[in-house]
């Protein structure tokens, strides 16, 4: 199944007072570009996060937003540095004695001194935190991929309909091409009769002229290649999975054949059909830009 490069997913996981929320959204991009925004506390998981995402995403501009809340218990503790406090007190007493100053020492004054009270964070349970994060990440990616698949199915149906239209245009050109040569033959004979009366035209001369003309306007090869490209695109769409770049290349080749057909057109009907052909192929190319 083909996937669109446009997608969205969101999931929250709560366990033991800890909550992780992951949100992922993406748009079209020629390559894979992943931007992650998350709390600094989770930064050391970035490589692991990118590794997991590569299992689900091969192309597109993807934005990942991760939030983390921990209300399970205190995330750290206050530490009292007794020796540091003792030194402050001793020096403040010494200053008071030496200069005859009033010493208004109190516990709150000493506690505000640098390094007397410090906050130490609790050691992080990396394994448990990653397990929770990975659960949220993979669950979100599953939802994200589902939206891409749903959008991809719509794209596939639309592309199949457009390919049907292109095959109709190819049939129209193939039907019209032999008629152009016949009309040109009748035109030559009518012109000769107009200029020379009933004088007959050498069949050999006429045949030579018709061969040159037919070769000049012949688009048989272009039509054969176009039909092959249409078949190739159908098969690729049916196979699915990471086919965007291949489809883009096939569409370029289809456009090349349409351009050649238009340049050879010596008939208003073929010319108009070739223009319609180019227009439809361009629509296909635009749609393909959305496929992963």
The answer to whether residues 32 and 139 belong to one domain is: yes
List the end-to-end C-alpha distance of the chain, in Å, as a whole number.
Answer: 11
The answer to whether residues 64 and 156 belong to one domain is: no
pLDDT reported for residue 211: 62
| Assigned token pair, 91 | 């020096």
Considering the domain boundaries, does residue 2 fall inside one? no
pLDDT reported for residue 209: 58
Considering the domain boundaries, does residue 264 fall inside one? yes
pLDDT reported for residue 140: 97
pLDDT tens across 230-241, in order?
Answer: 999 999 998 877
Considering the domain boundaries, does residue 185 fall inside one? yes
In the structure, what pLDDT confidence band is assigned to residue 199 with cuts at 50, 70 and 90?
low
pLDDT tens across 23-36, in order?
Answer: 999 999 888 999 99
The answer to whether residues 275 and 248 belong to one domain is: yes
The answer to whether residues 46 and 137 belong to one domain is: yes
Strands 18-27 and 7-15: antiparallel
The answer to whether residues 245 and 275 belong to one domain is: yes
Considering the domain boundaries, does residue 25 fall inside one? yes
CA atoms within 13 A on the CB side of 53: 27
Question: What is the domain-level CATH number for residue 244?
Answer: 1.20.140
pLDDT reported for residue 67: 97
Question: In the chain, how many domains are there?
Answer: 3
The answer to whether residues 143 and 157 belong to one domain is: no
The answer to whether residues 24 and 134 belong to one domain is: yes
Residue pair 42/22 in contact by the 8 Å Cβ criterion: no
The answer to whether residues 160 and 263 belong to one domain is: yes
Considering the domain boundaries, does residue 248 fall inside one? yes
pLDDT reported for residue 218: 72
> What does the alpha-carbon distance between residue 191 and residue 45 come to, in Å, rounded to a whole number?
83
pLDDT reported for residue 75: 61
The answer to whether residues 31 and 56 belong to one domain is: yes
Q: Which domain range does residue 103 map to? A: 76-121
The answer to whether residues 204 and 267 belong to one domain is: yes
The answer to whether residues 284 and 228 belong to one domain is: yes
The answer to whether residues 101 and 197 belong to one domain is: no
Question: What is the domain-level CATH number for residue 140?
Answer: 3.30.230.70
**Could you tell me the pTM of the whole model?**
0.69
Surface-to-core class of residue 166, CB atoms within 10 Å of its CB (0-12 exposed, 13-18 middle, 19+ buried): buried
Burial 225-246 (b: 16+ CB within 10 A, else e): bbbebbebbeebbeebeebbee
In the structure, what pLDDT confidence band is assigned to residue 166 with cuts at 50, 70 and 90?
very high
pLDDT tens across 211-269, in order?
Answer: 665 556 577 888 899 999 999 999 999 887 778 889 999 999 999 999 988 887 778 88
pLDDT tens across 113-154, in order?
Answer: 899 888 766 666 788 899 999 999 999 999 999 999 999 999
> Longest Cα pair distance anywhere in the chain, in angstroms?
141
């Amino acid at each position: 199944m083909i996937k669109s490069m446009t997608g969205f997913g969101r999931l929250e996981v709560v366990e033991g007072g800890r909550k992780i929320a992951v949100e992922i959204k993406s748009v079209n991009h020629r390559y894979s570009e992943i931007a992650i925004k998350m709390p600094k506390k989770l930064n050391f998981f970035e490589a692991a996060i990118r590794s997991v995402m590569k299992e689900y995403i091969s192309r597109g501009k993807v934005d990942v937003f991760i939030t983390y809340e921990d209300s399970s218990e205190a995330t750290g503790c206050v530490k009292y540095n007794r020796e540091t406090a003792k030194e402050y007190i001793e020096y403040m007493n010494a200053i008071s004695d030496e200069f005859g100053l009033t010493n208004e020492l109190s516990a709150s004054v000493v506690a505000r001194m640098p390094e007397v009270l410090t906050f130490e964070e609790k050691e992080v349970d990396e394994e448990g935190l990653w397990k929770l994060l990975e659960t949220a990440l993979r669950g979100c990616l599953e939802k994200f991929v589902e939206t891409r698949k749903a959008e991809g199915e719509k794209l596939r149906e639309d592309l199949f309909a457009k390919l049907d239209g292109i095959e109709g245009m190819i049939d129209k050109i193939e039907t019209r091409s032999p008629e152009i040569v016949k009309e040109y033959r009748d035109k030559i004979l009518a012109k000769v009769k107009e200029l020379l009366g009933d004088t007959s035209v050498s069949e050999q001369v006429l045949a030579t002229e018709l061969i040159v003309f037919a070769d000049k306007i012949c688009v048989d090869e272009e039509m054969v290649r176009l039909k092959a490209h249409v078949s190739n695109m159908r098969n690729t769409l049916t196979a699915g999975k990471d086919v965007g770049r291949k489809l883009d290349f096939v569409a370029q080749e289809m456009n090349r054949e349409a351009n050649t057909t238009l340049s050879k057109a010596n008939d208003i009907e073929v010319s108009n059909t070739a223009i319609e052909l180019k227009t439809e192929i361009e629509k296909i190319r635009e749609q393909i830009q959305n496929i992963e």
